[in-house]
Amino acid sequence: MAQNYRELRVWNEGITLVEMCYRLTKAFPKEEIYGMTSQIRRAAVSVPANIAEGYGRENRGEYIQFLKIAQGSLKELETHLIISERVQLATPQAIAPIMTQCETVGKMLRSLIRTLQQKA
């Protein structure tokens, strides 16, 4: 097991996802700073933040719960990205790699949750 959350591959992939979202939203119109820009960034940051917080609880049940919260934030992020594309804040080409990263992180979260549940 990892010595700390920063060694977790899923946390690192989550940080990459945050970076991708910040780069995407940098190009959004200024009037979206308190709208979609904020929503996307908040949801993205929530993913690795909840992974870290759960890890820090040092209780398997709470850790799993925080990983599930991270999954929820991931789905929220995906929804904001889809909306951004549909209202033409971002192109499909700009959204696609981020959605792929979301899928990667989601699979890793599901796998980690399953592994932790099997140890119970």
pLDDT digits (tens, 9 = 90+) for 33-59: 999 999 999 999 999 999 999 999 989
Query: Where are the chain's structural domains?
Result: 5-119
Percentage above 70 pLDDT, the chain: 98
Q: What is the mean pLDDT of residues 2-28?
A: 96
How high is the pLDDT of residue 47? 98
Classify domain 5-119 by CATH number.
1.20.1440.60
C-alpha to C-alpha distances, 95 to 21, 69, 91, nearest whole angstrom: 9, 23, 6
71-75: Cβ within 8 A, 24+ apart: 71/106, 71/109, 71/110, 71/113, 73/43, 73/44, 73/46, 73/47, 74/43, 74/47, 74/102, 74/105, 74/106, 74/109
Task: Please determine, for residue 120, whether its predicted confidence score (pLDDT) is greater than 80.
Answer: no
Task: Please determine, for residue 13, whether its predicted confidence score (pLDDT) is greater than 70.
Answer: yes
- Local structure of residue 57 (DSSP, 8 states): T
Global pTM reads: 0.95
Q: What is the mean pLDDT of residues 59-76?
A: 97
Percentage above 90 pLDDT, the chain: 94
